[in-house]
């Protein structure tokens, strides 16, 4: 009997779909993507509806404070962010938030950051809408 229950539980577990952590969508329609950079840093890109537009957040976490990164964010190929950010203590990360227009159809967001000292690159993408 114990063997039958174990087999049934395992079979049920295999049928339940599990969303990977790298591709999440919140109850409020927020879309989140995460990933690794070319070195040891990690990135997170988020988008959600906000006052008729889209709030975009890009975060890079290198675990080392004081690094300067060049940051670019594009929406359907149009640059919406061009700036530099320095990782802050204690976490060694930076983030930017921007409110952008919600274009007709899907918004294909691409965020890219390059560490100016090491050349490490972080690149994240998501489709919103």
Write out pLDDT tens, residues 6-51: 444 444 343 333 333 455 555 568 999 999 999 999 999 999 999 9
Q: Which of 73, 75, 42 is nearest to 59 (CA)?
A: 42
* CATH code, domain carrying 25: 2.60.40.10
Please report whether residue 108 resides in a domain.
yes
Q: Is 7 among the domain residues?
A: no
Q: Is residue 55, in this structure, part of any structural domain at all?
A: yes
- Domain contains 99: yes
* Owning domain of residue 111: 20-128
Cβ-Cβ contacts under 8 Å for 110 (sequence gap 6 or more): 73, 74, 123, 124, 125
> Is residue 76 in some structural domain?
yes
- Classify residue 94: in a domain, yes or no: yes
**63 secondary structure, DSSP code:** S
* pTM exceeding the 0.85 threshold for the entire prediction: no
Number of structural domains, the chain?
1
Residue 1 lies in a domain: no
């Amino acid at each position: 009997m114990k063997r039958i229950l174990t087999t049934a539980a395992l079979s049920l577990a295999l049928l339940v779909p599990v969303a990977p952590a790298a591709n999440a969508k919140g109850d409020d329609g927020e879309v989140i993507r995460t990933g690794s950079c070319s070195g040891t840093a990690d990135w997170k890109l988020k988008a959600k509806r906000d006052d008729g537009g889209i709030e975009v957040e890009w975060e890079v976490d290198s675990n080392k404070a004081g690094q300067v990164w060049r940051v670019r964010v594009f929406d359907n190929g149009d640059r919406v962010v061009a700036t530099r950010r320095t990782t802050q203590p204690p976490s060694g990360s930076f983030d930017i938030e921007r409110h952008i227009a919600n274009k007709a159809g899907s918004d294909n967001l691409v965020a890219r950051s390059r560490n100016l000292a090491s050349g490490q690159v972080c690149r994240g993408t998501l489709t919103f809408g």
